[in-house]
Structure 1
Amino acid sequence: MFTDMLNFIKEVDKLKIIERRTYVSDGSRRENSGEHSWHVCVMAMTLFEVYERREKTDLFTSIQMLLLHDIVEIDAGDTYAFDVSGYEDKREREVRAAERIFGLLPEGTRNKYRSLWEEFEEGETNEALYASIVDHIQPLLLNVSTEGKSWLEHKIHAHQVLNRNQWIKDISPRIYSQISEWVGIGIEKGWLMED
């Protein structure tokens, strides 16, 4: 059992070599998925007091989801938020990865981690919704911090960012207003394309 746990821990270290499209805040390089997972956990802890549904949300569960949500990228790779063709088989690739990677663990831990991952993917509970909101806004924060570096590279339109995050408006108007502000800045500075 202990050996299985250590093997899993060693395996998830590979998340540090999965490169994402978003740049770290100084724009010097792209972040990796391990850094992203750490950053969204810190964001979740920090922003929780302004989250409108905090009384109904268990923060620790959301943080657990954020720590586990991208582990599948070790096998499946990171699918860029605006990669339409990448999303065609994303679920299939990630389920296979979840089976293999979580399968390294003893049964009880495997079931718990897999359940948390599935809950995040389904995005229906308060905990999953909060975790997903934080996961969505982290790249926006980094794009604003890097003067739209990733947006510019991929010729992202303002409507793409707004459409991808529209669902947040009903759950957290406060956070969505920040998204709208960032998109406005992106348009004003020419980092996001307009239609």
Structure 2
Amino acid sequence: MQQIVDFILELDKLKGVTRKNRPLGLDRYENSAEHSWQIALLAYSLVQYAETLIDIHRVIAMLLVHDIGEIDTGDTIVFAVEGWEERKAAELAAVTRIFGMLPEPRRAEFMALWLEFEQAETPEARFAHAVDRAIPALLNLANNGQSWRENGISHERVVQRIGPPIKAGCPALWIYLEARLAEEHRTGWFGIE
């Protein structure tokens, strides 16, 4: 029991990991715990649009563990293009440490979920990636391009970074987003690189 309690208290640190998007109507930036909660609900809401039949409970479990490594590494904006290999190595070390707090079999189960998400080969992992990539765009679309403008992120970079994984995991969501992104591109909500 104590190992589980220690693990859960360690996860509380995810609330202190700041991301680049602002929650709607707030002046502060969201944290990674809020992000994980929101994408889990987005996935549950969109399950009927997955590319194929999926185990939504497995998807939600992946989404709840996928950013735990950020406790040690911090968050990197999804639209960044440099340093991904180093970042993923650091995240693997972090989740190994954090999941290592748990007794077996949970330790191995959580690590398997994290690795499945990272490899993005199963229908569940592709769907999880789609919703993870979609939420920053959805928040930006609702916030007049806030983080795109603040971080100089172009329309082209947004489409390149989020288009393929969203299209692979939830094609209907990409059809929706692609049209919205094109529409807002005309209004100047993107940064200039």
TM tier, smaller: over 0.9
Give the number of aligned pairs: 192
1:11 alignment partner in structure 2 = 10
1:173 alignment partner in structure 2 = 171
TM, length-normalised to structure 2: 0.94
For residues 119 and 17 of structure 1, the distance between their equivalents in structure 2, rounded to whole angstroms, comes to 25
Structure 1 residue runs of 4+, over 6 Å off? none
**What SS does the corresponding residue of 2:79 show, helix, strand or coil?**
coil
TM, length-normalised to structure 1: 0.93
For residues 107 and 118 of structure 1, the distance between their equivalents in structure 2, rounded to whole angstroms, comes to 17
For residues 114 and 169 of structure 2, the distance between their equivalents in structure 1, rounded to whole angstroms, comes to 21
- CA shift for structure 1 position 79: 1.3
1:183 alignment partner in structure 2 = 181
Identity %: 39
Between stretches 42-51 and 106-115, larger displacement belongs to 42-51
Higher strand share: 1
Alpha carbon RMSD of aligned pairs, Å?
1.5
From 98, 104, 107, the equivalent of 1:107 is 104
For residues 163 and 125 of structure 1, the distance between their equivalents in structure 2, rounded to whole angstroms, comes to 21
Q: Are residue 58 (structure 1) and residue 55 (structure 2) matched?
A: yes
For residues 132 and 180 of structure 2, the distance between their equivalents in structure 1, rounded to whole angstroms, comes to 16
Q: Are residue 121 (structure 1) and residue 121 (structure 2) matched?
A: no
Contact 1:26-1:145 at 8 Å conserved across structures: no
* Residue identity in the other structure for 1:41: A
For residues 78 and 171 of structure 1, the distance between their equivalents in structure 2, rounded to whole angstroms, comes to 23
**What SS does the corresponding residue of 2:132 show, helix, strand or coil?**
helix
For residues 70 and 171 of structure 1, the distance between their equivalents in structure 2, rounded to whole angstroms, comes to 19
Consecutive unaligned residues of structure 1, counting only runs of 5 or more, are none
Consecutive unaligned residues of structure 2, counting only runs of 5 or more, are none
